[in-house]
Amino acid sequence: MTVSLEQLRRCHFAVDLGAARTRVYVKGVGLVVDQPSAAAVNTRTGALIAVGELAEKMTGRTPAYIRVVRPVSGGTVVDIEMAQRMLRHLLGDKIRRALRRKTRLRAAACTPHDADPLAQRATIETLVGLGARRVELVDTLIAAAVGCGLPVERAQGTMIVVCGAAATQVAVLSLGSIVTAERIPVGGEAVDHAIVQHLRHAHELMLPSQSVRPLQLALSGNGLTAHGPLSTEIHGRDVATGLARSVRVDTAAVRDAIQTPLTAVLDGISKVLRDCPPDLVADLADVGIVMVGGSALLPGLDQMLREATGMPVNIAERPDVCAVQGIGAMLEGKIEPLILDPLAA
């Protein structure tokens, strides 16, 4: 981490561009944007029809000339121009006018732990297009740890698992820095895909993309590895006939179907623990693991990690906004300098 807290305090707003949702924090105001990272475009004219929640609702329901695009994939901006247009509409005229009045507008952004220079450059160019004269990049793992209140500035091991839509990041922190970390290319989208494929093969049913969440809730109970509801009714489209059809789905079979992507997350956590110094692992046995990110709310995932690692596992109070709240706290100067620059003192 090369950015210092002093540099972050000079920033006027911060952006967390996620594969699922985009969040914007304005210094002195708070969280002003929390919307899906989606935009609906008219392919004939190039006009932007909708962004955020409205564009998300259009997914799978548009005519051929309207396309719903996602300019962010895996925490990386893949379409800079569309990301800029989406952010302009999400911010609105009032907030953008207020930001333009700032002298030498500065911005901060969250980036994945192992983001390559090209991905970092894409994030910087996106915010420069919004008028930022300088952009500071903050590791998502540190921002999320600060946002959920972990004592990362101490000489004590703390472990955080950031469960995103496209990837899961695991890290052990101490003295405000990352000791060891791992990024697993498995997230909430992989779990959704496993559920959709299971229903297609086992029941010959095509499940609408926005109907996966109710089935995930049916997995709740005592956890993914325990006994929840025995079955639940799902509505979808028959693969052979194309007609609407309802089936009773055995939730135990769905639990088995999503074990494969979740096992990859467990393997990543095990690798981080193997690479971690023994003294810090001993700290983790008492402190445990903290889960953040929107996919941390997948029913029973915390129980599964608890049984696999034998350590306490807790979900942050508001896991989906921890990263942007953490970087917002840095902008507001609420964090001690030791966190990002241990040698500054």
Lowest mean pLDDT among 77-91, 174-188, 251-265: 251-265
Confidence of residue 224 (pLDDT cuts 50, 70, 90): very low
| Kind plus residue range of the DSSP H or E element containing 54 | helix 53-58
pLDDT of residue 342: 41
Q: Note the pLDDT tens digit of each residue in 37-75.
A: 999 999 999 999 999 999 999 988 899 999 999 999 877
**Whole-model pTM?**
0.87
**Which of 186, 148, 114, 147 shows the shortest CA–CA distance to 288?**
148
In this model, does residue 1 exceed pLDDT 50? no
Confidence of residue 252 (pLDDT cuts 50, 70, 90): confident
**Other CB atoms within 10 Å distance of the CB of residue 222:** 11
**Crossing angle (nearest 10°) for helices 259-275 and 301-309:** 40
pLDDT of residue 213: 65
pLDDT of residue 343: 40
In this model, does residue 226 exceed pLDDT 60? no
Q: Note the pLDDT tens digit of each residue in 65-110.
A: 999 999 998 778 999 999 999 999 999 999 999 999 998 999 999 9
Give binding residues for ATP as ranges.
294-297
Burial class from Cβ neighbours inside 10 Å (0-12, 13-18, 19+) for residue 65 reads exposed
Q: Which CATH number among 3.30.470.160, 2.40.50.100, 3.40.50.150, 3.30.420.40 corresponds to the domain 153-316? A: 3.30.420.40
In this model, does residue 305 exceed pLDDT 50? yes
**Other CB atoms within 10 Å distance of the CB of residue 9:** 17
Are the C-beta atoms of residues 60 and 208 closer than 8 Å to each other? yes
Average pLDDT, the chain: 87
**Second-level CATH architecture of 5-144+323-339:** 2-Layer Sandwich (3.30)
Lowest mean pLDDT among 121-135, 153-167, 222-236, 313-327: 222-236
DSSP letter, residue 319: G
Confidence of residue 214 (pLDDT cuts 50, 70, 90): low
pLDDT of residue 297: 82
Give binding residues as ranges.
294-297
3-state secondary structure of 111: strand
Residues of the chain with CATH 3.30.420.40: 5-144+323-339, 153-316
Mean pLDDT of 12-33: 95
Token pair of 131 as six digits: 């008028």
Hey, which of 22-26, 257-261, 298-302 has the most confident mean pLDDT?
22-26
